[in-house]
Amino acid sequence: MGRRLPRPEKTRIFTVSNQKGGVGKTTTTVNIAAALAAAGLNVLVIDIDPQGNASTALGIEHHADVDSIYDVLINDVALADVVAQCPDMDKLICAPATIHLAGAEIELVSLVAREQRLRRAIDVYAKTREKNGEERLDYIFIDCPPSLGLLTVNAFCAANEVLIPIQCEYYALEGLSQLLKNIEMIQKHLNAELVVSTILLTMYDGRTNLAAQVAAEVRTHFPEQVLSAVVPRSVRISEAPSYQQTVMTYDPSSSGALSYLEAAAEIAER
């Protein structure tokens, strides 16, 4: 836990995305962010999933009266005004999602430069931090909804790297090819800098042949991107959000916490 990780030369912005639901997107976002923050890096999590699960796991209030990422995207509120400090980690902050985001897809349609709104907000926030003499952010993680609507497109336009969590089951591979086609489309028309840099295998059950087969197949297709760390199925990881915590603070010595620490270290050292 006391390990220090190298700071990147500039802020690395990750979109954590997979159109398939239930693959561990939010769990991966909050735990890798917490692991990097525990290693002394400045991390921001932006929750653009209307369910607001990342905000819950980080212990951030996100009821309807709270200013959230919805106000940033639709009402041009500054990101600096909605960002909240995570109670368990000094270096971790979060821009929460509220239920208002559920209607944001429709409201974004009529707005000017609708795909670039999140990117602009992040750029302005970076300048605000610099002006106030605060340290720059090392990592930004954007937690997406499981669909390819305008919220996810905003995330892809704001990021320069995509982190794809893949559940070690057969259906996961089917969804992956569709996701990669969509990312290609974004690269071509909206954000040429975007790369799929990281793939993390989640919910790995070492007792089944299927998990090993899926892992082997994903590694064959994406030898550069797949992390060596795999996240096992773990009760501790599932329990942590009910205490409004990440597994890093809930049970730091559990297999889930250790595998996310390992994944975070790999990402930082690449």
Q: Report which of 17, 33, 8 is spatially closest to residue 146, judged by C-alpha positions.
A: 17
Distance CA 208, CA 205 (A): 6
Q: For 110-118, what is the mean pLDDT?
A: 91
Mean pLDDT, residues 49-76: 91
What's residue 2's pLDDT?
A: 63
With a CB cutoff of 8 Å and minimum separation 6, the contacts of 177 are none
- Output the pTM of the full model: 0.94
**What is the CATH code of the structural domain delimited by 12-269?**
3.40.50.300
Nearest to 61 by CA among 92, 33, 34, 85: 85
At residue 170, the pLDDT reads 79
What's the rounded Cα separation, in Å, for the pair 78 and 144? Answer: 20
pLDDT of residue 221: 87
Nearest-angstrom CA–CA distance, 29 and 37: 12
Mean pLDDT, the chain, as a whole number? 90
Q: What's phi and psi for 106, nearest 5 deg?
A: -75, -40
Give the position of tokens 């299927």: 210
| 186: Cβ contacts below 8 Å, ≥ 6 apart | 153, 156, 157, 194
What pLDDT was estimated at residue 1?
Answer: 55
